[in-house]
Amino acid sequence: MKKLIPIGCDHAGFDLKKVVIKHLESKGFEFKDFGCHSEESIDYPDFGHPVADMIENTEDIMGILICGSGNGINMTANKHQGVRSALCWKKEIAELARAHNNANIVTLPARFLTDSEALEIVDAFFETSFEGGRHGRRVEKIACS
């Protein structure tokens, strides 16, 4: 069975999204692509919320979001309970986001990464497991309700 990844981006992340999808498809992943589908200017919440909704309502999946700085789409996703979206600009940040924070969405700042840096981050994110233990106790305290 192939692992399904919801993915979304804004216009600044469109080209990088294509690179990430091609890379992960070669590793056997499948995608639910929530857009956007061109470089035409759009509003990132329109594409961040659907990804976050799917993460929030589906067990054991992780997603990818991409925008210019990563900040706006990351803030959007983190408004959803049960979503722990991590803005990652280095492989080590992605590894810690998974291992210590049980992040379930990796957010990439497209304007600040090369394609190879982004792919290294994505690979680290999907290959790293949550450590649990004391980190589990902390993650349980994140939600507001």
* CA dist., res. 122 & res. 29, Å (int): 12
Tens digit of each residue's pLDDT (9 = 90 or more) over 32-50: 999 999 999 999 999 999 9
54-76: pLDDT as tens digits: 999 999 999 999 999 999 999 99
Inform me whether the pLDDT recorded for 93 exceeds 90.
yes
Q: Where are the domains of the chain?
A: 4-140
| Confidence at 138, pLDDT banded by 50, 70, 90 | confident
Tell me, which fold does domain 4-140 have in CATH? Ribose 5-phosphate Isomerase B; Chain: A, (3.40.1400)
Known catalytic residue: 67? yes
User: What is the sign of the dihedral through the CA atoms of 100, 104, 110 and 113?
Assistant: positive
Of 123 and 2, more confident: 123
Beta sheet of 85-87, edge-to-edge order = 30-33, 4-9, 63-67, 105-109, 85-87
Active-site position among 11, 67, 80, 88:
67
What global pTM score does this model have? 0.95
80 carries an active-site annotation: no
pLDDT at residue 141 greater than cutoff 60: yes
